[in-house]
Amino acid sequence: MAIPQIALTKCTGCGLCVAVCLKHGLEIVDNKVFFIGGDECNWCGMCEAVCENGAISCPYEIVVEEST
């Protein structure tokens, strides 16, 4: 399972990403955000959208369907 990528050095521990995560997948520990699993991440990208520091991101792999 893919999980959001976290850059701890950029995280200020504000907790906005934790607050908006519908899957309860994030937690602040010692003022830094960590992915704790929760319900399976559906890659909604809201944690990335609310983070002004770019500390959390949901990157996409881009593939081409074979038949095209």
Partner 1 sequence: MNKQDILNNTPMFTGMSQDKLAAIGKRMFEKSLDRDDVILNEGTTSDALYFVAEGVVKISKTSSEGKEQILKLMRPGDFFNDVPVLDNGAAPANAQAMSYVLLYGISKYDLEIMLKQYPEISVNMLRMMAKRTRYLISLVEDLSFRNVTSRVAKILLENTSHGNQPVHHLTQRDMAAMAGTAREVASRSLKHLESRGLISIENHRITIKNKTALMQMVES
State in angstroms the smallest separation of the CB of 57 from partner 1: 4
Q: Is 16 in the site for partner 1 (CB under 8 A)?
A: yes
Kindly tell me the burial class for residue 67, based on how many C-beta atoms sit within 10 Å of its own C-beta (0-12, 13-18, 19 or more).
exposed
**Is residue 28 at the binding interface for partner 1, with CB under 8 A as the rule?**
no
- Minimal distance, residue 32 CB to partner 1, in Å: 18
- 37 contact partners, CB below 8 Å, separation of at least 6: 25
Q: Does residue 9 belong to the site contacting partner 1 (CB under 8 A)?
A: no
Q: Does 19 bind partner 1 (CB under 8 A)?
A: yes
